[in-house]
Amino acid sequence: MGKRLLQIDGSYGEGGGQVLRTALSLATITGQPIRLFNIRTGRKKPGLAAQHLTAVRAAASICGASVSGDVLGSVSVEFRPGSRVIPGAYSFDVGESRAGGSAGAVSLVLQTVLLPLAIAEGNSSVKIIGGTHVPFSPPVSYIEYVYIPALRNMGVDVTLDLQAWGWNPKGGGVIEVQISGNGNLRGQKLLQRGELEKIRVIAAASKLPNEIITGMSNAASSLLSGYGFEKSLVDLKEIACSSPASGRGMFIFAEYSHSTAGFSSLAQGAKVAKEVCAEMMEFHNSGSPVDEHLGDQLLLPACLATEETEYIVSKITLHLMTNAWVVETFGLAKVTIDEASKKVSIIPRGTHS
């Protein structure tokens, strides 16, 4: 007899697209059929937006799932995975999910399929077109410098090539990702971050005057020395990047000996460097090894690992609590979040075979 349909309330906790994406990844990996209801019902435009619909289709195509409710605006999706994840060469375009295109985040589509493909029986390549540096999602540079290195520490072999940048509202950015299969995920302990080794600063813009890039980079340089960081720690990169439309942003990565944290701003004008440097400084002063975004994103690999994972996060967010609820709903791990110490521990139940 087949597995019983698992019902998941998409409005639980943070109630955003992450409930959907985490549930899709876990359904794909475990073969568990799911029905998601109340998807993003608390949002201004409820239901599936282009990025979420692309994630549903991407998850379905890597495991041959049968799906209903996969239309824009749908608040309910039934997803019945095929018998296994099929490694291969895939291409997904977020812009194709909506008439008129979309700058929906490629990073979030990638996170939906990355782990299923990493533990599939063979290597894969995934090309995704859409927004690469857009609000309310991990910028692709964050995926490159924070998320992928964290996964590598857990035994996942993946490389990312950012071929074109996609800014809001046009999108059209391109990433190409190589994922080695047969991955065996290890747990990790990130309770201390070690010494600060490098502050990587990226000032990037497309189709805008070069002075905008140098302005952002100079502002970050003087703010960081004002905060007391040695010049030798700061690695400034100015990038005039190729993109179908204009856009700009600043990204800072604080690389400690045991972990990296990332901060970004897509703001206009002089405040961009101020915003991102202040965010980095707040994190630095917290003493934590894991930033608030990685805090929720690490739960998924951690619940698939062969050992316990423990980490201390700078902030306990609703995203973190909600993702923990999704993981526990699948019965894959016991997640404990200690409010006082900000320690998260994930004990996998080893059910992903």
Ligand X SMILES: Nc1ncnc2c1ncn2[C@@H]1O[C@H](COP(=O)(O)OP(=O)(O)OP(=O)(O)O)[C@@H](O)[C@H]1O
Tell me if 296 is assigned to a ligand binding site. Answer: yes
Whether 52 sits among the annotated catalytic residues: the reply is: no
Question: Does position 249 bind ligand X by CB under 6 A?
Answer: no
How many angstroms separate the CA atoms of 205 and 199, rounded? 20
Scanning 85-93, 134-142, 214-222, 306-314 for contacts with ligand X by CB under 6 A, the matching segment is 134-142
Contact 337, 314 (CB under 8 A): no
Residue 157 annotated as binding site: no
Q: Which is nearer to ligand X, 49 or 87 (CB)?
A: 49
Min dist. Cβ of residue 266 to ligand X (A)? 9
Cα distance between residue 93 and residue 144, in whole Å: 20
Cβ distance to ligand X smaller for residue 234 or 267: 267
What is the strand order of the sheet 196-206 is part of?
A: 234-240, 196-206, 247-256, 260-265
d(CA 91, CA 292) in angstroms, rounded, equals 30
Residue 295 assigned as binding residue: yes
Which is closer to ligand X, CB of 142 or CB of 330? Answer: 142
Among 296, 300, 303, 316, binds ligand X (CB under 6 A): 296
- Interaction between residue 289 and ligand X (CB under 6 A): no
Is 338 marked within a binding site?
no
From the list 99, 13, 112, the residue with the least C-alpha distance to 57 is 112
- Is 293 annotated to bind a ligand? Reply is yes
Residue 297 as a binder of ligand X (CB under 6 A): the answer is: yes
When binding is defined by CB under 6 A, the residue of 10, 17, 116, 348 that contacts ligand X is 17
Q: Which residues of 145-174 are buried (b: 16+ CB within 10 A; e: fewer)?
A: bbbbebbeebbbebebebeebbbbebbbbb
Which CB, 188 or 297, lies closer to ligand X?
A: 297
251, 256, 283, 289, 290 from 194: Cα distances, Å: 22, 6, 14, 8, 12
Q: Can residue 40 be called a binding residue for ligand X (CB under 6 A)?
A: yes
State in Å, rounded, how far the first CA of the chain is from the last one: 18
Q: Pick the stretch among 203-211, 252-260, 281-289, 293-301 that binds ligand X (CB under 6 A).
A: 293-301
**In the complex, which residues of this chain contact ligand X (CB under 6 A)?**
16-18, 40, 43, 52, 108, 136-138, 142, 262, 264, 293, 296-297, 319
Q: Which residues are annotated as a binding site for ATP?
A: 111, 293-297
- Catalytic residue set: 319
